[in-house]
Amino acid sequence: MPTFQAIVIDKVESGQSVRLTDFDDKDLMDGDVTVRVEWSTLNYKDGLALTGKAPVVRRFPMIAGVDFAGTVESSSHPAWRAGDKVILNGWGLGETHLGAYAQKARVKGDWLIRLPARMSARDAMAIGTAGYTAMLAAMALERAGVTPARGPVVVTGAAGGVGSVAVALLAKLGYAVTASTGRPAEAPYLKGLGAAEVIERKALSGSPRPLGKERWAGGIDTVGSTTLANVLAMTRYGGSVAACGLAGGMDLPVTVAPFILRGVSLLGIDSVMCPLPLRQEAWRRLETELDRGKIAAMTSEIALADVIDAGRRIVEGQVRGRIVVKIP
Ligand code: NDP
């Protein structure tokens, strides 16, 4: 019986078990494209799934991993042929559909994006769902009229994966970026990515007032909770904030004051079910508008067997920048 290696999460009496093991080809789920996975990456959500800290996984056994890049092995989907290089982010991968930390994946062809010509599979996963989400957020700010001329923009959770790419991306697009981090020792790293200013997380973690001093034209928030509430209260008249994360909590202790007194907008960002045209646009722009050298500098590499420990570290806020996972 053909098998392949995978990180498998199973339900046990004490909660869940996670191990690197052999998985039977015959247990792959339905799909019209089979992909040889070459690279994956570690996202905060992967950490939540691997540690069981949040109910990310909706079926057991589950192969963890929410995104991959690889090569099509076989396809009955009209858009894809054997040998095509592809990327997959989200669509329930690693949640409801067997995921990315595996040598093989069977998925729906409709979920796939073609790997941009000037990107390797490793490059794509160094960007990963984190970078693609940062781009979706930057595009949302642009649509809302937050241009560099409108003033500085803030990025919270700046030393994390989404945050690091967001800082690099917004700086490259010409914004003056204020990076908020709980790790002040990472200030030189964040300045190296292009941050004009680095502020401490605690400046945004106090009990939020309805309105604060107007500081930025907008921002990308990966933290949620009091941090997002403070960011909104400090956003200038007519500004917009793209919310994509919950690393600090899922609640939002905000008043309506920023919305009704300053015309501030809160923009929701979802990468998982994001429609295809927006995904294609995001990856097209990531190919050309991101400083690949900066991405390389923020990326470290681990083996499939190291994913379980790295999952614990990311939910503890110990991971800086991006981690790619080499699939053997
Ligand atoms: P990371 O762990 O790499 O980054 C999160 C960062 O948030 C940390 O590095 C840290 O940055 C900061 N942080 C962590 N804990 C706290 C806390 N308790 N209070 C304040 N700040 C904290 O994760 P990712 O970058 O992969 O993901 C970031 C968030 O975005 C996650 O919540 C994730 O689920 C979400 N996400 C959402 C997507 C979507 O589709 N909406 C897609 C991808 C990610 P620092 O040390 O600099 O303060």
CATH number at residue 40: 3.90.180.10
What confidence tens digit (pLDDT) does each residue in 262-292 have?
999 999 999 999 999 999 999 999 999 999 8
| Whether residues 217 and 153 fall in one domain | yes
How many angstroms separate the CA atoms of 55 and 51, rounded? 10
pLDDT of residue 106: 98
Domains: count for the chain: 2
With a 6 Å cutoff on the Cβ, whether 230 touches ligand 1 is no
| Whether residues 177 and 250 fall in one domain | yes
Percent of the chain at pLDDT exceeding 90: 98
| Whether residues 143 and 167 fall in one domain | yes
CB 48 within 8 A of CB 56: yes
What confidence tens digit (pLDDT) does each residue in 196-252 have?
999 999 999 999 999 999 999 999 999 999 999 999 999 999 999 999 999 999 999
Asked, for residue 279, whether it belongs to a domain, the answer is: no
How many angstroms separate the CA atoms of 124 and 232, rounded? 32
| Whether residues 261 and 146 fall in one domain | yes
With a 6 Å cutoff on the Cβ, whether 10 touches ligand 1 is no
In DSSP terms, 301 is beta-bridged to: 324
CA of 45 relative to ligand 1 center, distance in Å: 9
Model pTM score:
0.96
| Whether residues 97 and 147 fall in one domain | no
Confidence of residue 316 (pLDDT cuts 50, 70, 90): very high
CB 84 within 8 A of CB 65: no
> What is the mean pLDDT of the segment spanning 73-92?
98
With a 6 Å cutoff on the Cβ, whether 270 touches ligand 1 is yes
Asked, for residue 284, whether it belongs to a domain, the answer is: no
Beta carbons within 8 Å of 194's beta carbon, 6+ residues apart: 167, 168, 170, 171, 172, 177, 291, 294
3-state helix, strand, coil in the chain (%, to 5): 35, 30, 35
Q: Residue 86: pLDDT above 80?
A: yes
With a 6 Å cutoff on the Cβ, whether 314 touches ligand 1 is yes
| Whether residues 227 and 316 fall in one domain | no
CB 321 within 8 A of CB 159: yes
CA of 184 relative to ligand 1 center, distance in Å: 16
Beta carbons within 8 Å of 163's beta carbon, 6+ residues apart: 134, 155, 156, 157, 179, 181, 220, 222
- 255-258 long-range contacts, CB within 8 A, separation 24+: 255/210, 257/210, 257/211, 257/233, 258/210, 258/211, 258/232, 258/233
Asked, for residue 212, whether it belongs to a domain, the answer is: yes
Asked, for residue 286, whether it belongs to a domain, the answer is: no
Mean pLDDT, the chain, whole residue set: 96
Asked, for residue 230, whether it belongs to a domain, the answer is: yes
Between strands 197-200 and 177-181, the pairing is parallel
Amino acid letter, 161? G
pLDDT of residue 235: 98
Percent of the chain at pLDDT exceeding 70: 100
| Whether residues 45 and 175 fall in one domain | no
Residue with tokens 């990107």: 119
Asked, for residue 68, whether it belongs to a domain, the answer is: yes
pLDDT of residue 14: 87
Structural domain containing residue 260: 130-268
| Whether residues 32 and 157 fall in one domain | no
- Which of these three, 222, 246, 268, is where a domain ends? 268
With a 6 Å cutoff on the Cβ, whether 129 touches ligand 1 is yes
Nearest to 48 by CA among 226, 326, 246: 246
Asked, for residue 37, whether it belongs to a domain, the answer is: yes
With a 6 Å cutoff on the Cβ, whether 158 touches ligand 1 is yes
> What is the mean pLDDT of the segment spanning 45-49?
96
| Whether residues 142 and 258 fall in one domain | yes
| Whether residues 91 and 155 fall in one domain | no
Give per-residue burial for 291-300: e unless 16+ CB within 10 Å, then b: ebebbeebbe
Asked, for residue 42, whether it belongs to a domain, the answer is: yes
CB 101 within 8 A of CB 40: yes
Confidence of residue 325 (pLDDT cuts 50, 70, 90): very high
Q: What's the CATH number where 222 sits?
A: 3.40.50.720
| Whether residues 148 and 255 fall in one domain | yes
- Atom 4 in ligand 1: residue holding the nearest Cα: 160
Confidence of residue 1 (pLDDT cuts 50, 70, 90): confident
How many angstroms separate the CA atoms of 8 and 24, rounded? 12
| Whether residues 224 and 145 fall in one domain | yes
